[in-house]
């Protein structure tokens, strides 16, 4: 499908009352500058207004590199949205990954038409863009290739990560242990290779793939080794779920000679700078020291855990010297709200008001995130960098008066303050609204498609209390 976003104007100038930049290797904020974009590149940062075809002269804006949200599930979390709050549908089980989300997503993919799957994918991408996200990494089930179509169409920068499982039929018992018979991971690796052949580098390079073996307890050693080797052969980042629960820690210990989930990945050669590991909440301090030593990245998604009363504190991981990013897990695609939660939850968990500072958390969705996927052209506003920007309207009443833009953004900001999202020099969001597309139609169609899953008898049973 051809992208509908038109070619960008040859040049765009954006005024920044506050501009996030880097100086001598550290984050810095400049004031009253212009950012000049030419085609898909940042051409210059100037004090005087440059000549440009398209000009955004809006005082009070905070211009940041395009935000990176490197762990999101547009589809599976939509299935749970507003169904699983306050413990509803959980039967006292904080983790519904294996009992509800994976089975319903699998059934959903079977019953929805391609048009309905595309509608859900579009809604997810719309939520991300309106939340200020320029780049997303999205792990999803095989059979949801429409995620790629929606990303290409709506213009977001997209790292698609079709899951690999040692079996598609992993089931969890009442004790949380995942059981699966056989090891047919080769089929998923073949499907990943087909997706890579079709999509890697599509949409002017905005579409890429990441290798996503689902989790330590759903992927056996042979699959993990093969997936890592293939990812390294083609230079794809590797992402997985790691130490999501005490049950997973017990399962891996039983299966693999007492190893922790982190030790299991290290044994197989996956614990390395190209690994982005989601959650890690059941990791021991020794595990986190090991991850720091190996240079692996933690993807911290605090709100999806907070809803079940579980602490996932950014500050704990960062405190071990691990590169720690903040992402949404699809629960609420509001990345600014997520860094606000990361700040508060880290301070509460450490009983330390200095934990998880605003510059650290902004770094976790800009520079550090770009570094984790080896994209030095993203995550920074500098001449020659890729023209991905997220612009926040700091004149919003809730953000005034404003002494410090970074502290104001993290402590007070959220998705309602997004002004512009620019990807590859294309303005995708302007004044918070989708430029090319009908938001109401996308929202209605996506919600209707999820409603078809909610109508399934097994969904009614799962979500009945
Ligand atoms: Zn996840």
CA of 312 to the centre of ligand 1 (A): 13
CA of 381 to the centre of ligand 1 (A): 29
d(CA 187, CA 192): 9
DSSP-based three-state secondary structure for 406: helix
Which tokens belong to 16? Answer: 């920044």
| Location of structure tokens 């905005």 | 206
Q: Which residues contact 441 (CB under 8 A, 6 or more apart)?
A: none
Q: Are 331 and 305 in contact (CB under 8 A)?
A: no
d(CA 41, CA 371): 18
Q: What residues does each domain of the chain span? A: 11-66+387-434, 67-372
CA of 76 to the centre of ligand 1 (A): 9
CA of 215 to the centre of ligand 1 (A): 9
Which tokens belong to 130? Answer: 């309106």
d(CA 67, CA 362): 9
In 3D space, the residue among 357, 368, 317, 331 whose CA is nearest the CA of residue 135 turns out to be 368
Q: Mean pLDDT in each 10-residue stretch from start to end of the chain (465 residues)? A: 61 98 94 97 98 97 98 90 81 69 83 96 98 97 92 98 81 61 78 97 98 95 96 98 95 95 98 98 98 98 93 97 97 95 98 97 98 97 98 97 98 97 98 97 97 90 81
Strands 297-300 and 323-326: parallel
Which run of H or of E encompasses 250? helix 246-255
Q: What does the pLDDT read at residue 181?
A: 55
CA of 137 to the centre of ligand 1 (A): 10
Whether the link from the prior residue into 29 is cis, omega within 30° of 0, is: no
CA of 333 to the centre of ligand 1 (A): 13
d(CA 85, CA 118): 26
CA of 419 to the centre of ligand 1 (A): 28
In 3D space, the residue among 45, 131, 133, 17 whose CA is nearest the CA of residue 378 turns out to be 133
CA of 332 to the centre of ligand 1 (A): 13
CA of 277 to the centre of ligand 1 (A): 9
CB neighbourhood size of 292 (10 A): 17
CA of 329 to the centre of ligand 1 (A): 5
| Location of structure tokens 């230079």 | 235
CA of 283 to the centre of ligand 1 (A): 16
Length of the chain: 465
CA of 52 to the centre of ligand 1 (A): 41
CA of 384 to the centre of ligand 1 (A): 33
Q: What does the pLDDT read at residue 84?
A: 80
CA of 73 to the centre of ligand 1 (A): 7
CA of 171 to the centre of ligand 1 (A): 17
CA of 136 to the centre of ligand 1 (A): 13
Hey, what CATH topology would domain 67-372 get? Answer: TIM Barrel (3.20.20)
Q: Are 9 and 53 in contact (CB under 8 A)?
A: yes
Query: DSSP states of 187-236 as a string?
Result: HHHHHHHHHHHHHTTTTTTTEEE-BEE-BTTTS-HHHHHHHHHHHHHHT-
CA of 398 to the centre of ligand 1 (A): 31
Q: What does the pLDDT read at residue 233?
A: 98
d(CA 39, CA 9): 7
Hey, what CATH topology would domain 11-66+387-434 get? Answer: Urease, subunit C; domain 1 (2.30.40)
CA of 103 to the centre of ligand 1 (A): 15
Q: Are 295 and 265 in contact (CB under 8 A)?
A: no
How far, CA to CA in Å, does 139 sit from each of 29, 104, 192, 263?
33, 16, 12, 23
What is the four-CA torsion angle of 366, 367, 369, 375, rounded to 10 degrees?
110
Which tokens belong to 99? Answer: 């009992």
pTM over 0.85: yes
């Amino acid at each position: 499908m051809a992208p509908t976003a038109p070619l960008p104007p040859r040049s765009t100038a954006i005024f920044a009352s506050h501009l996030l930049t880097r100086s001598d290797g550290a984050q810095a904020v400049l004031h009253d500058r212009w950012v000049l974009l030419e085609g898909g590149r940042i051409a210059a940062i100037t004090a005087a207004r440059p000549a440009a075809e398209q000009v955004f002269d809006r005082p009070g804006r905070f211009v940041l590199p395009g935000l990176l949200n490197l762990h999101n599930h547009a589809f599976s979390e939509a299935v749970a949205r507003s169904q699983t709050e306050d413990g509803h549908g959980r039967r006292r089980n904080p983790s519904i990954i294996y009992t509800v989300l994976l089975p319903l997503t699998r059934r959903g993919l079977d019953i929805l038409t391609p048009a309905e799957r595309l509608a859900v994918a579009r809604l997810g991408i719309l939520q991300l863009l309106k939340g200020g996200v320029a780049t997303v990494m999205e792990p999803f089930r095989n059979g949801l290739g429409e995620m790629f179509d929606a990303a290409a169409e709506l213009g977001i920068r997209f790292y698609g990560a079709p899951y690999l499982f040692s079996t598609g039929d992993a089931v969890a018992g009442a004790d949380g242990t995942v059981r699966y018979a056989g090891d047919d991971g080769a089929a998923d690796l073949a499907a990943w290779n087909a997706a890579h052949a079709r999509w890697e580098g599509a949409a002017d390079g905005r579409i890429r793939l990441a290798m996503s073996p689902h989790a330590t307890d759903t992927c056996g050693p042979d699959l993990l080794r093969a997936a890592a080797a293939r990812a390294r052969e083609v230079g794809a980042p590797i992402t997985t779920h790691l130490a999501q629960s005490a049950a997973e820690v017990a399962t891996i210990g039983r299966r693999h000679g007492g190893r922790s989930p982190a030790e299991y990945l290290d044994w197989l050669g996956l614990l390395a700078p190209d690994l982005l590991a989601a959650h890690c909440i059941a990791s021991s301090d020794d595990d986190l020291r090991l991850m720091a030593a190996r240079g692996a990245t933690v993807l911290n998604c605090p709100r999806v855990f907070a809803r079940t009363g579980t602490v996932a504190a950014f500050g704990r991981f960062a405190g071990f010297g691990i590169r720690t990013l903040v992402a949404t897990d699809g629960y609420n695609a509001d990345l600014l709200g997520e860094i606000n939660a990361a700040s508060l939850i880290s301070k509460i968990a450490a009983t330390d008001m200095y934990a998880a500072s605003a510059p650290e958390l902004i770094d976790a969705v800009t520079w550090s995130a770009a570094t984790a996927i080896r994209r030095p052209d993203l995550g920074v506003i500098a001449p020659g960098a890729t023209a991905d920007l997220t612009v926040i309207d700091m004149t919003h009443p809730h953000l005034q008066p404003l002494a410090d833009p970074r502290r104001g953004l993290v402590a007070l900001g959220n998705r309602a303050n997004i002004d512009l999202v620019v990807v590859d020099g294309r303005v995708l969001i302007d004044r918070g609204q989708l430029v090319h597309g009908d938001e109401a139609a996308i929202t209605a169609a996506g919600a209707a498609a999820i409603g078809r899953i909610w109508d399934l008898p097994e969904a009614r049973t799962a979500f009945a209390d």
